[in-house]
Amino acid sequence: MSWYPVPLPDLTGRRYLVTGANAGLGFFTSARLVGAGAHVVLSGRSPERLETAAAVIRERVVAGADRGELGGRVSTLVIDTASLDSVRAGVAALRGEPQLDGAVLNAGMVHTPGRRLESPDGNELVLATNVLGHFALLAGLFGAAGSGDELVPGSRRFADGARVITLGSLSTKLSTFRVEQLQLERGYDFWRAYAQSKIAGQSIGFELDRRLRRAGVPVASVVAHPGYAISGRTPTVPGVNEPSRGDRFADALQAAWAQGKHRGAEPVLHALTAAEVAGGEFWGPRGLVKGEPAKQQPTRVSSDPVIGAKTWAFAELATATPFTLVG
């Protein structure tokens, strides 16, 4: 593991939003960014869990600045990506803050329900949490004031040169994809719900970069995946990651093809901060399931421009959010 951790540039003065930041990949991504000097806005649906994660980062990372090390800032913002009202409230709170140098769209359901459930807005719950909430969040950060509003020039919350990182998944290689069946109103299956949501998320991530380029907006969209990153291979962090002894034992048996979430965060961090990364790229572990960050080839369906345009149009309709980028 001589490659770990990947060096990060000095991020002093940079500001990032990380969704689902109170645990897992989001927590370790946030902690590393703060350790490099950035101000990170941790978002999640539970204020208590957000405060626990923020306290750990302040104690373990920010305090390092007192010893002459880099140390940024951390703040919290409640956003439940399953609820469009919550997303729009979060966007409104960010409007009064300085622009962002990047966003990591990490929040999502991994352990999906065994039966079809709906979000407060009537969308399939896994899709709403993993994809549609982030779509509405991006629309707001690029200038839309709320449901049904067009984007307003000059109201973009991203600074020039910012990057948007969408969390992809290896599951995108293991499922078919039908835009017209994303709501899974018939034939719901917990695995299909997860895999299709990750394909849709990647599809929108790549489509976002195409649209940013066409509009001349100086922001890049990149997709990154963590490989096979599991809790039992991850360091214990009280209140954040506390797998049982049984989980530790079971996950240790997968050591040959699995890594901890702290290492799974490294391709995400690289995609967000490395100078050589360009918009529209796909990054993940060199060994596919584990290892240092490397540029990779996404699935054809998730990178297809025709499918991307259809998925974008579906998300606009499902969220009642027009999203036409303004340069």
Which residues lie across from 38 on neighbouring strands?
none
Reduced DSSP (H G I as helix, E B as strand, rest coil) percent helix, strand, coil of the chain, to 5 = 45, 15, 40
7 DSSP assignment? P
CA–CA gap between residue 156 and residue 108 (Å, rounded): 24
CA–CA gap between residue 263 and residue 57 (Å, rounded): 17
Is-catalytic flag, 194?
yes
Rounded alpha-carbon distances, angstroms, from residue 264 to 4, 26, 285: 11, 10, 8
Determine phi and psi for 250, rounding to 5 degrees.
-65, -40
Question: How many CA atoms does the CB half-sphere of 174 hold within 13 Å?
Answer: 10
* 275, two tokens: 């100078």
Rounded alpha-carbon distances, angstroms, from residue 248 to 29, 253, 255, 290: 22, 9, 11, 18
Please state the length of the chain.
327
- Active-site residue, from 4, 16, 188, 194: 194
Q: Rg of the Cα trace of the chain?
A: 18
Tokens 């290492």 sit on residue: 263
Rounded to the nearest 10 degrees, what angle do helices 47-60 and 24-35 cross at? 40
* 190, two tokens: 């917990």
Residues with a catalytic annotation lie at 194
